Amino acid sequence: MAQVSITLPDGSKKEAEAGISIADFVKNHIGPGLAKAAVFARINGQDVDLSRTLDADASLQIFTSKNPEALEVARHDAAHIVADAVQQLFPGTQVTIGPVIEEGFYYDFYRLKDGKPSPFTPEELEQIEKRANEIVARDVPFKRTEVLAADAVKLFEGKGEKFKVEIVNDIVAKGAKTLTLYAHGDWIDFCLGPHGPSTGKIGVIKLLSSSGAYWRADQTREQLQRIYGISFFDKKGLEAWQKVREEAAKRDHRRLGRELDLFHFHPVAPGSAFWTPRGTVLYQALSDWMRRLTREDGYVEIKTPLIFNKQLWMKSGHWDKYQDNMFLVKDSDSGELDFGVKPMNCPSHHIYFGFGKHSYRDLPMRLHTQDVLHRNEAAGALGGLTRVRQFAQDDAHIYCREDQISDEVFRFVKLLDRVYNAVGLKYEAKLSTRPANKLGDDALWDRAEGALKNCLETMKVAYEVKPGDGAFYGPKIDFVVSDSIGRKWQLGTMQLDYIAAERFDLSYVGDDNKEHRPVVLHRAIFGSFERFIAILIEHFAGNFPLWLSPVQATIVTIADRQVDHARKLQQELARRGFRVEFDDRGLSMQKKIRDLEISKMPYVLVIGDREVEANGAAPRRHGGEDLKTMSIDAIAELFGKESRIPDGSA
């Protein structure tokens, strides 16, 4: 029997007879414990099943339930099992695909009842979940076989699985001759693998929800039923995950928006928020901050009209490309919908740039605008503050010469870095490069992409390249932030635009006394105020730093005889620029402290006889820290220090 030499991750080598399965190799040559815990293996960097054989010298790595990679494999197993369970319970349902996603997996089914697509009810989901876990409990082995593509087509045709046939045919069209099937028990799916050794390895399957989806995300194709689920190797994992979910739910900005009294929605204006006095303080604080930052960074702020006529939208291309998302307004003379409410600031900025003649010395011109914008988003797309119909952006357009692009990109990323640092958001970038339908020659794109790339690399921003994802008029960088519990949000953007100046016939006079086209840079850091606020609420879990907190402190007296002092203190702190309230409800101090603690008040200022005597108050930090009696001046100094906006510069 020929021998093979297997290299383990620690560099050690083991000899074994060629043709041995990985499972047996692990059991006989490494240890039964690992053999039992193993889920899948990696041979020479390729993920494979444990049933595969070792036929040549190779490096081998074993993944167990301790590895996150194994959980992904197990969730893929779980998707198969859910599909099996569905077909057991609802014969005639066709399967499509069932990938692993960031949080669990889903499987899309084609299910007809009386000839119509029919969703799964919550009761049916429970049944499916139960059946799926029964299949897990039976611990059925997964079996991998390689078959000729033609045989696979026959197999799925025989089962009436037309979606599988379609997928197999697509793969055959790409040149595949054979493909792999995975079976557990009688249930067979066509799948790349790898899978775990048996269904029992999966642990526990939890189904989360079901929803509609289209075959290949195409509205003209079949309506499918998607079942979302997740699995864990043990109950403990599931419970821990449920805890994290509860934590995220507690941070939900829609819930905190209500609890902290920040904003409301009303059916008369779907997707448009009413901001309460507190919410408005928060909104204004961000707005003022961004005004100051941009002003200090060489921007000028302008205001432009809200409604423009059709001519502008035709020129900008919105009339053709974006009309469905615009609110149109009737012209009372013509009776036609000849006006549109602006969904973006760029066209009006371009018009503005067109006023007067510009010298090359005027560039770069950085126009900042926080005007309100409206987009008629699809009804089903609305959600809290993250997806609204009325919002404002911290928008700006930079008009510059081509040789200034690099400097401007640097300048922007530095500003963005300061802003995200100041609120504690980590970020990474996505660089989208030239698409197939690009405008302009390759040399132009080389320079543009090079400038963006160079900036990201010099500033040491982690980034991923998205080849071909840029707009036809220029490449862009999108910035993705991670909040305090690791969720990701796309916020800032820097987009180069080589066509806007052409369309709007914008020019400047160069040092050669000839007219040139400026390049336009579209850029934003918050993205939209609404969305940014939603993210900050969830990021801080409603516990805002003092500079953002709508109310910074609330005064509580121990007895009514301190009320006069309390009012004096409130006035004095307000005079010094702090946002302080006085809780004069007829309740015990303990009760008020409890209420204020729940409402995430940064400071409670307690006033008893001692504090009246000392002409001050005893601040209590959110969370319970008692700072003891302090004078008004000392409190003002403390608040002043803590309400300073972090600079954010590295």
Pick one of 182, 391, 540, 639: the residue that binds RNA (CB under 7 A): 391
For residue 610, state whether it binds RNA (rule: CB under 7 A): yes
Any catalytic annotation for residue 127?
no
C-alpha 142/C-alpha 156 separation (Å) is 19
Pick one of 113, 243, 292, 628: the residue that binds RNA (CB under 7 A): 628
Specify the stretch interacting with RNA by CB under 7 A; choose among 148-156, 326-334, 385-393, 639-647. Answer: 385-393
Any catalytic annotation for residue 592?
no
Given the residues 397, 517, 539, 579, the one annotated as active site? 397
Specify the stretch interacting with RNA by CB under 7 A; choose among 25-33, 126-134, 234-242, 388-396. Answer: 388-396
Please report, to the nearest 10 degrees, the dihedral formed by the alpha carbons of residues 615, 620, 622, 623 taken in order: 180
Specify the stretch interacting with RNA by CB under 7 A; choose among 60-68, 91-99, 220-228, 429-437. Answer: 220-228
Specify the stretch interacting with RNA by CB under 7 A; choose among 91-99, 174-182, 204-212, 568-576. Answer: 204-212
Asked, as a colleague might, if the bond just before 602 is cis with ω within 30 of 0, I would say no
Q: CA separation (Å) from 496 to 128, 510, 519, 539?
A: 50, 21, 7, 30
Given the residues 75, 111, 476, 579, the one annotated as active site? 476
- Quick check: helix, strand or coil at residue 553? strand
For residue 601, state whether it binds RNA (rule: CB under 7 A): no
For residue 388, state whether it binds RNA (rule: CB under 7 A): yes
Any catalytic annotation for residue 77?
no
C-alpha 466/C-alpha 524 separation (Å) is 20
What lies within 8 Å, CB to CB, of 299 at 6+ separation is 366, 367, 368, 396
Beta bridge partners of 16: 4
Nearer Cβ to RNA (130/585): 585
C-alpha 353/C-alpha 405 separation (Å) is 18
Minimal distance in Å, beta carbon 19 to RNA? Answer: 44
Please name the residue that has the structure tokens 């876990």: 133
Classify residue 353 by burial, with Cβ atoms within 10 Å: 0-12, 13-18, 19+: buried
**Residues from 553 through 572 that contact RNA (CB under 7 A):** 557-561
Pick one of 29, 52, 143, 254: the residue that binds RNA (CB under 7 A): 254
20: left (phi over 0), alpha (psi -120 to 50) or beta: beta
C-alpha count within 13 angstroms, C-beta hemisphere, residue 645: 17
Decide: 319 and 386 in contact? Cβ < 8 Å. no
Contact code string over 37-76 relative to RNA, x by CB under 7 A? ----------------------------------------
For residue 525, state whether it binds RNA (rule: CB under 7 A): no
Asked, as a colleague might, if the bond just before 194 is cis with ω within 30 of 0, I would say yes
Pick one of 452, 456, 521, 593: the residue that binds RNA (CB under 7 A): 593
Pick one of 165, 233, 611, 643: the residue that binds RNA (CB under 7 A): 611
Pick one of 9, 99, 160, 383: the residue that binds RNA (CB under 7 A): 383
Pick one of 109, 110, 265, 445: the residue that binds RNA (CB under 7 A): 265
Any catalytic annotation for residue 29?
no
Minimal distance in Å, beta carbon 253 to RNA? Answer: 10
Minimal distance in Å, beta carbon 429 to RNA? Answer: 13
Any catalytic annotation for residue 476?
yes
- Could you tell me where the beta strands, DSSP code E, fall in 44-165? 46-48, 53-54, 58-64, 94-95, 100-101, 104-110, 112-113, 116-117, 142-148
User: Is the dihedral angle over the CA atoms 312, 341, 300, 414 positive or is it negative?
Assistant: negative
Decide: 83 and 226 in contact? Cβ < 8 Å. no
For residue 586, state whether it binds RNA (rule: CB under 7 A): yes
* Lookup: tokens for 427: 């970020």
**Residues from 267 through 326 that contact RNA (CB under 7 A):** 267, 270-271
**Residues from 476 through 515 that contact RNA (CB under 7 A):** 490-491, 493
Size of the site for RNA (CB under 7 A): 75
Given the residues 108, 189, 195, 346, the one annotated as active site? 346
Any catalytic annotation for residue 358?
no
Pick one of 466, 595, 615, 636: the residue that binds RNA (CB under 7 A): 595
Decide: 519 and 365 in contact? Cβ < 8 Å. no
What lies within 8 Å, CB to CB, of 502 at 6+ separation is 517
- Quick check: helix, strand or coil at residue 105? strand
Pick one of 76, 318, 387, 523: the residue that binds RNA (CB under 7 A): 387
For residue 629, state whether it binds RNA (rule: CB under 7 A): yes
Nearer Cβ to RNA (83/593): 593
For residue 129, state whether it binds RNA (rule: CB under 7 A): no
Nearer Cβ to RNA (58/382): 382
C-alpha 252/C-alpha 385 separation (Å) is 11
- Quick check: helix, strand or coil at residue 231? strand
Nearer Cβ to RNA (518/527): 527
Specify the stretch interacting with RNA by CB under 7 A; choose among 240-248, 278-286, 525-533, 546-554. Answer: 525-533
For residue 587, state whether it binds RNA (rule: CB under 7 A): yes
Specify the stretch interacting with RNA by CB under 7 A; choose among 163-171, 234-242, 264-272, 360-368. Answer: 264-272
Minimal distance in Å, beta carbon 588 to RNA? Answer: 4
Nearer Cβ to RNA (49/538): 538
Specify the stretch interacting with RNA by CB under 7 A; choose among 36-44, 295-303, 424-432, 579-587. Answer: 579-587
The beta-carbon contacts of 83-87 under 8 Å, at least 24 apart in sequence, are: 83/107, 83/109, 83/187, 83/189, 84/132, 84/135, 84/184, 84/185, 84/187, 85/128, 85/129, 85/131, 85/132, 85/134, 85/135, 86/128, 86/227, 87/187
Catalytic residues: 346, 375, 393, 395, 397, 476, 522
